[in-house]
Amino acid sequence: MEASQSPQSPLPVFPSGLEPKEIAQACGLDEAYRAKQLYSWIVKGAPSFDAMTSLPQELRALLDQRFGGLRSSSVSSALEDGDGSLKLQVRLRDGAAVECVLLEDIEGRKTACLSSQVGCPMACQFCRTGTLGFLRNLGPDEIMEQFYFLKERRGFISNVVFMGMGEPLLNLPAVRKACFLLSDPEGLGMSLRKITISTSGIVPGILDLTEHGPKVRLAVSLTTADDALRTELMPVNKRWDLTELKAALLEYQAKTRERITLELVLLGDRNADKESAEKLLRWIGPLRAQVNIIPWNSVPGLPFKEPSKAQLKAFSEHLASQGLICVQRMHRGRGVMGACGQLGDTLRADP
């Protein structure tokens, strides 16, 4: 018996990344109800096969022997910030590592920020993860296990954002499966409206979402509406420039009728002035969008600076004065290098 193979990852998928019919096949279970029992235990957060007390002990022992444990990964470190944020480093079975973060807002809502790749191929100049390079995609089990590890430590999680390490739309099959497992009414039952996929601007991925779903919320890391500056800061713009990106977003919006979130990382000396705000307003045009302003989170060694409070205020107020919905993101997780753009302590156990 072999675990199911992911087309995007060289590693077999463990039961934590499978739905009941796939669990039955991967685990060699002839009785469909046994697979449903196993699935139910997984979504309840069972940490091991042995904890699944409704399964026969012999079956639990056999599954443990064949898989070497219920989960394919483990938590190698946990850091808690004074603002309530939690950052976990998750060690994968091949020695690589990713990070995930639990963020809690002032009203107590908990959001899991999950990674989709080991490292990131996008090389955004203001992002720590972008300096690490790219190792591989994650399987759906490795994505879901991040969620379960955070849930074990903090309880009920209301929202999920694919804004951790990696570009989700370059690993869409695994991200799509994770969205299904998160929202399955027979499983965790999270509303798709509570799930956000954030992209740096992968146009084919946006069009794939447009045609095939899932109908989650879409966020785009825009940063600037100046083509030359965006190409400098975000190399993805060399492949799909602002004109192509906007065309894809208009098609997405025409089909889904959903509002899009545009994320702007404000760099104090590059894109936080009135001219930048005017370019953004002109670019957005007919798009129905909300702008999330993210003051750059400091990363040692990167040649940028945070915007001043005066710059943030002036930029936000100018956008709002033109009728644009504008939200300033809070600095949560910075104390543990868990805020936007700060993830990526290590990729491997061994250099």
Alpha helices in 47-190 (DSSP H): 57-67, 140-154, 172-183
Q: Is 326 part of the annotated catalytic residue set?
A: no
Query: Tokens 């499978």 sit at which residue?
Result: 18
Q: Which amino acid is at 282?
A: R
Distance between CA 296 and CA 127 in Å, rounded? Answer: 9
- What tokens does 273 get? 């002035």
Q: CA 323 → CA 220, 225, 261, 316, 328, distances in Å? A: 20, 18, 15, 11, 15
Among the listed residues 99, 104, 145, 167, the single catalytic one is 99
Q: For residue 110, what are the CA distances in angstroms to 85, 161, 176, 194, 327?
A: 9, 11, 21, 11, 18
Examine the residue annotation and report whether 120 is marked as an active-site residue of this protein. Answer: no
Determine contact, residues 225/280, Cβ cutoff 8 Å: yes
Active site residues: 99, 340
